[in-house]
Amino acid sequence: MAAETLSPVLPEDVDAMARRVLERACKAKLMLATAESCTGGMLASLLTDVEGVSSAFERGFVVYSNEAKCELLGIARATVDQCGAVSRQVAVAMAEGALKGSHADIALSITGFAGPGGPDDEPGLIHFGCARAGHETTHREEHFGDVGRGATRIACMRTALDMIEAAL
């Protein structure tokens, strides 16, 4: 069965990836968490939308503002100020903070510029972090380009699911 709520806007490959990731997590008895900024909870929504296997999802953090990143995920304000909210350091800290602040075994973070922002912002620049208990946190940087907020968010789903699958 497809992701129910998001299925009208999700490409079939993303829907299939989500199901596969959730089935593998259930089989391995591993719990997942998310920490999302520019995707606004879309990954958490996707992971809770696949009937029969959504029990692998433990919790999600939507941390759009810098204050939320610091308050909810325990990121040092100096890290955000010095590195920028859209950076490798913040993506890694977000994933590690979500893992620490949950009962999950794997946490995936997403931070970036989904659409036009300030003059120094690169639309489509996204940083991902993936933390797994007992393993080194991984990072991926993507440059999706100025393809619009919706297309960037869908591209983020593919990368995020790919990273979770690799961590499984």
pLDDT, averaged in runs of 10, over the chain (168 residues): 61 95 97 98 95 95 98 98 97 98 98 86 96 97 95 96 98
* Residue partners of 117: CB distance under 8 A and separation at least 6: 123
Please report the pLDDT score of residue 118 as a whole number.
Answer: 79
Q: What is the rounded distance in angstroms from the CA atom of residue 48 to the CA atom of residue 143?
A: 27
Residue 42, exposed/middle/buried by CB under 10 A (0-12, 13-18, 19+)?
Answer: buried
Residue 32 region by backbone torsions, left for phi larger than 0, else alpha for psi between -120 and 50, else beta:
beta
* Residue partners of 149: CB distance under 8 A and separation at least 6: 114, 115
Q: What is the rounded distance in angstroms from the CA atom of residue 31 to the CA atom of residue 67?
A: 26
Domains of the chain: 12-149 (3.90.950.20)
Nearest to 111 by CA among 130, 125, 96, 97: 125
The answer to pTM > 0.85 is yes
Please report the pLDDT score of residue 116 as a whole number.
Answer: 77
**N-term to C-term CA, the chain:** 22
* Residue partners of 72: CB distance under 8 A and separation at least 6: 61, 63, 97, 101
